Amino acid sequence: MENTSQVPVTVLTGFLGAGKTTLLNRILTEQHGRKYAVIVNEFGEQGIDNDLVVDADEEVFEMNNGCICCTVRGDLIRILSGLMKRADKLDAIIVETTGLADPAPVAQTFFVDQDVADRTKLDAIVTVADAVHLSSQLVDHHEAEEQIAFADVILLNKVELVGDNDIVKVNDRIRKINPFAKIIKTTRCDAPLDEIVGLNAFSLDRVLDIEPDFLESDHDHEHDDDVTSLSFVSDTPLDMDKFQDWFGNLLRTKGQDILRSKGILNFKGEEERYVFQGVHMLMDASPMGPWPKGKDRSSRVVFIGRDLDNMNLKEGFDNCKSA
């Protein structure tokens, strides 16, 4: 549910050496006139423009709720609830994760913990990527793939060190993993802060921004544990019961390999659009008002994950079409 008093939280990920610290330094030293709290791991700097720096250890806890991939950031629950007791209001909270971190536990914390969800909201996952080294990091480290897969915004940094052809290549490589993230090419992370903080990317109504032309499902990949994306479009209305059965079962059984999912759904007999977005097994879904007049009522779903080819996704989705 949307609640204007919720403080937006931006999660900052990025592989070692990509330029995360440069970006944090910018956030802490620029005169932005807002009050941010920055949750960091062992960071030497102090805030200048009235910002608050909080030291944290990344503590990933399994939830005791029978959901095997449901891990959360225990330290984040504690720190966010502490920050919410402050007398002064924060404009935003920025959470830095270590270079090798999987972004899922951070994102899942906002789905699982009611206190966190009541008072804060996940704004966006921003990933800083090193234009020079990203391609080799994607081969060697699954964490780098996950950070690209989860991102809402990717700062493709150090572009000044890479030729135009290589930028196109690395851009294509990112697109194959994550078709929606906004890619901003930067030198020393010099993107305007308002393209990084305050994006509302996890708001369900942002799912509506998924353009049909994003959804070109061509994918050829090298090996099975690569993170890729798949998407499907249907102009035939879907059967709600069939979809819920299929999708619920899919997340339950394959949720570990599905990193993110999003969709806009046109159910037979329903006037409203349904949207959802998920992180692994956890999902947020809601009706989102009537379809715009004069536009196609097409259902669109997107999956980002590993081993998507072996989930019979196309068949499963097609079976949900109403007869």
Partner 1 sequence: MNADLEKLQESNKTELERRGSIFNIGAPATEAVTIRDQIAVGFGDGTVRFFQSGSDPKTVKAHKGVVLSMTNYEDHVLTGGDDGRFLKISSNGNIDEIFNFGSKWVDCVASHKDTKVCSSGKTVYIWTKNKDKPQTLEHQSTVAGLAFDNKGKRLAVSRYGGVTVWKLNNNKWTASNFTWKGSHGTVTFSPDTKYIVTAMQENQIHGWRINDKADLAMRGYPSKIKSFTWVGDTPYLVTSGSSDAVCWPFDGKEGPMGRKPIVVANGGKELATFVKALNGEKAVFTGFTDGSVLLAEIDESKKPIMIRSSTGSEVSTIAISSDNSQILIGDMKGSILLSSLWADN
Per CB under 8 A, 68 contacts partner 1: no
Give the residue, chosen from 4, 5, 33, 87, that forms a contact with partner 1 under the rule CB under 8 A. Answer: 87
* Least gap, CB of 236 to partner 1 (angstroms): 40
Closest by Cα among 92, 67, 69 to 6: 92
Question: 81 or 244: whose CB is closer to partner 1?
Answer: 81
Question: 113 or 239: whose CB is closer to partner 1?
Answer: 113
Question: 46 or 165: whose CB is closer to partner 1?
Answer: 46
Give CA–CA dist 178/151, Å, rounded.
Answer: 8
238-244 long-range contacts, Cβ below 8 Å, gap at least 24?
A: 238/265, 238/266, 238/267, 238/268, 238/299, 238/320, 238/321, 238/322, 239/267, 239/268, 239/320, 239/321, 239/322, 239/323, 240/267, 240/268, 240/270, 242/319, 242/320, 242/322, 243/267, 243/320
Give the residue, chosen from 30, 62, 190, 216, that forms a contact with partner 1 under the rule CB under 8 A. Answer: 62
Per CB under 8 A, 86 contacts partner 1: yes
* Binding map of partner 1 across residues 112-131, x = CB under 8 A, - = no contact: -xxx----------------
Q: Which residues contact 198 (CB under 8 A, 6 or more apart)?
A: 8, 10, 92, 123
Closest by Cα among 312, 291, 309 to 300: 291
Per CB under 8 A, 240 contacts partner 1: no
DSSP state of 179: S
* Least gap, CB of 7 to partner 1 (angstroms): 14
Give the residue, chosen from 16, 63, 193, 240, that forms a contact with partner 1 under the rule CB under 8 A. Answer: 63
Give the residue, chosen from 3, 50, 82, 139, that forms a contact with partner 1 under the rule CB under 8 A. Answer: 82
Question: 109 or 157: whose CB is closer to partner 1?
Answer: 109
Give CA–CA dist 220/301, Å, rounded.
Answer: 19
Give CA–CA dist 187/253, Å, rounded.
Answer: 42
Give the residue, chosen from 5, 64, 293, 323, that forms a contact with partner 1 under the rule CB under 8 A. Answer: 64
Per CB under 8 A, 78 contacts partner 1: yes
Give CA–CA dist 174/178, Å, rounded.
Answer: 6
* Least gap, CB of 51 to partner 1 (angstroms): 13
Question: 20 or 73: whose CB is closer to partner 1?
Answer: 73
Per CB under 8 A, 1 contacts partner 1: no
How many CB atoms are closer than 10 A to CB 234? 18
Q: Give the interface with partner 1 as residue ranges (CB under 8 A).
A: 52-55, 57, 59, 61-65, 72, 74-75, 77-79, 82-83, 85-88, 113-115
